[in-house]
Amino acid sequence: MHPIPAILGGPPAFPDGPPPWPPSTDDVRDAVARAMNEGTWGGYHGPHVEELERRLAERYQTPHVLTCSSGTIAVEAALRAVGVGPGDEVVLAAYEYESNFLTVHAIGARPVLVDVSAKNFNLDPARLTGAIGPKTKAILVSHLHGGIVPMDAVSALGVPVVEDCAQCPGAAIGPKPCGSFGTVGTLSFGGSKLLAAGRGGALLFQDERAYRRAKLWLHRGVQAWAALSELQSAVLLPQLERLHADTIQRAAAVLRIAEERVPGLELFENAPRSMPAYYKVGFRFDPIAFGLSRDVFLRAARAEGIAFDAGFAALHLGRSPSRFRAAGPLTEAARAGEMVVKLHHPVLLAGNESVEIVARTLANIYRNASEISAAFPPS
């Protein structure tokens, strides 16, 4: 006997809702207490920012690291550091975080949109050659929803690459961490991120000249105008220390959910040797195979206390063509905007029992799709 789905009046799988994030962990509490006791927590200069930048440089195999106040600032600083300015073009996926599109405009440059892979709705390197022109100054690559872009193919084109790893600290391709393939890599430490400090970001530089440009832009004379604080750095250090173990645990949890093989709910695919890091776990949602519209599926999952949301809107839809240049058809990006559902990551570290409940609950929603559909017909 299967339980009645919560959307039909049954008890929710998680009555208290999704797990809170960031979690209250001993290592982070201890880091805050030490910073308070040492008096370093509120200083302009102290040991924690320097130590965080050193450890990031070590982990990401990069000679230079700068921290800053947000992931958005990091992307803008990275684009400026590789020479993007007014009138230039930046190539990026047509399915992408909207802030990156708007950041290109903030610099005065023009986005050039390319289509995405049908396997994981991330940037498709095969589409890049036709997008690159005389005004191209950079390629902006994001690894989204557990998908990983094949970076060797992107780097081989000889164009400066900004690799946005806001969603994937801990991800890797073979032995090399994502974030270390581009001319500049970027990280975000926002309050919902895998490495969380409320706000914050970092830039990872392979190129000395780009590093010096970004450092100059992030300062007004001697004043760092978009700095990461000592307290933020202090709470990030223990999270960075356990990032690899957390990445492995999240990957195992996602594998268990995917093993349920719920029709119409297909996990993003990646190339062999890829190690994803799951922030928003991406699935291709097929309403015909599942038996529910995407909107009703999301309502059913959230009624159970499972944090599913829709993906991004495709960047080219609903915008004036004067705001971008489309490099060929953007068919898969449009499909991504209609199909993607994503599971927020905190439950992946909540333990095997919670992950098992997620997997079984999604299967139960599918089994009851006809009853749910009848109760929530299309308007």
pLDDT tens digit at each of 379 positions of the chain: 679 999 999 999 999 999 999 998 999 999 999 999 999 999 898 899 999 999 999 999 999 999 999 999 999 999 999 999 999 999 999 999 999 999 999 999 999 999 999 999 999 999 999 999 999 999 999 999 999 999 999 999 999 999 999 999 999 999 999 999 999 999 999 999 999 999 999 999 999 999 999 999 999 988 999 999 999 999 999 999 999 999 999 999 999 999 999 999 999 999 889 999 999 999 999 999 999 999 999 999 999 999 999 999 999 999 999 999 999 999 999 999 999 999 999 999 999 999 999 999 999 999 999 999 999 988 7
Contacts of 317 by beta carbon, 8 Å cutoff, 6+ apart = 334, 337
Do both 208 and 261 map to the same domain?
no
Q: Are the C-beta atoms of 100 and 240 separated by less than 8 Å?
A: no
Do both 220 and 285 map to the same domain?
no
Q: Are the C-beta atoms of 200 and 67 separated by less than 8 Å?
A: yes
DSSP 295-346: HHHHHHHHHTT--EEE-PPPTTTTS-GGG-EE-S--HHHHHHHHHEEEEEGG
Is residue 9 in a domain? no
CATH number of the domain bearing residue 248: 3.90.1150.10
The 8 Å CB, 24+ separation contacts for 40-46 are 40/230, 40/234, 41/230, 41/231, 41/234, 42/229, 42/230, 42/231, 43/230, 45/230, 46/230
- Residue 218's domain spans which residues? 26-241
Which conformational region is residue 178 in: left (phi greater than 0), alpha (psi within -120 to 50 degrees), or beta?
A: beta
Q: Are the C-beta atoms of 250 and 348 separated by less than 8 Å?
A: yes
Is residue 76 in a domain? yes
CA distances from 316 to 204, 327, 347 (A): 29, 11, 33
CA distances from 232 to 188, 292, 327, 345 (A): 12, 43, 40, 21
How high is the pLDDT of residue 344? 98
For residues 234, 235, 238, 239, the Cα torsion angle rounded to the nearest 10 degrees is -140
Closest CA to 343 of 11, 2, 18, 1: 18
Q: Are the C-beta atoms of 264 and 284 separated by less than 8 Å?
A: no
Do both 37 and 141 map to the same domain?
yes
Token pair belonging to 41: 């927590």
The CA distance from 191 to 203, in Å, is 18
Structural domain total, the chain: 2
Q: Which of 241, 275, 302 is the last residue of a domain?
A: 241
The CA distance from 211 to 225, in Å, is 17
How high is the pLDDT of residue 1? 61
Q: Are the C-beta atoms of 157 and 132 separated by less than 8 Å?
A: yes
Do both 248 and 213 map to the same domain?
no
The CA distance from 61 to 347, in Å, is 30
Do both 87 and 220 map to the same domain?
yes
Which conformational region is residue 83 in: left (phi greater than 0), alpha (psi within -120 to 50 degrees), or beta?
A: left
243-260 burial code (b ≥16 CB/10 A, e <16) = beebbebbbebbeebbee
How high is the pLDDT of residue 222? 87
Longest dimension (CA), the chain: 69
Do both 321 and 220 map to the same domain?
no
Do both 86 and 214 map to the same domain?
yes
Do both 220 and 265 map to the same domain?
no
Closest CA to 246 of 276, 283, 282, 204: 276
The CA distance from 372 to 366, in Å, is 9
Do both 177 and 216 map to the same domain?
yes
Q: Which of 241, 273, 295 is the last residue of a domain?
A: 241
Do both 85 and 130 map to the same domain?
yes
Characterize the bridge pairing of strands 184-188 and 161-164. Answer: parallel
CATH number of the domain bearing residue 70: 3.40.640.10
